[in-house]
Structure 1
Amino acid sequence: MALVELGRFNRNEAHIVIGRLDSEGIDAVALDGNASIADGSYLFIPVRVMVDDEDLAAARKILSDTA
Structure 2
Amino acid sequence: MALVEVETFPNAMIAEMARARLAAEGIEAVLFDGGVASIGLGGLTPARLMVPEADEALAMRLLGEPD
Relative to the length of structure 1, the TM-score reads 0.82
Instruction: Note the alpha carbon deviations across 1:24-58, whole angstroms, 9 max, x for none.
Output: 00000001112387xxxx31221000000000000
**Unmatched 5+ stretches in structure 2:** none
* Percent pairwise identity: 40
Distance in 1 between residues matched to 2:37 and 2:17, nearest whole Å: 21
Distance in 1 between residues matched to 2:13 and 2:40, nearest whole Å: 10
Decide which structure has the larger Cα Rg and report it. Answer: 1
Distance in 1 between residues matched to 2:22 and 2:49, nearest whole Å: 10
Aligned length: 63
**Unmatched 5+ stretches in structure 1:** none
Distance in 1 between residues matched to 2:52 and 2:40, nearest whole Å: 26
Relative to the length of structure 2, the TM-score reads 0.82
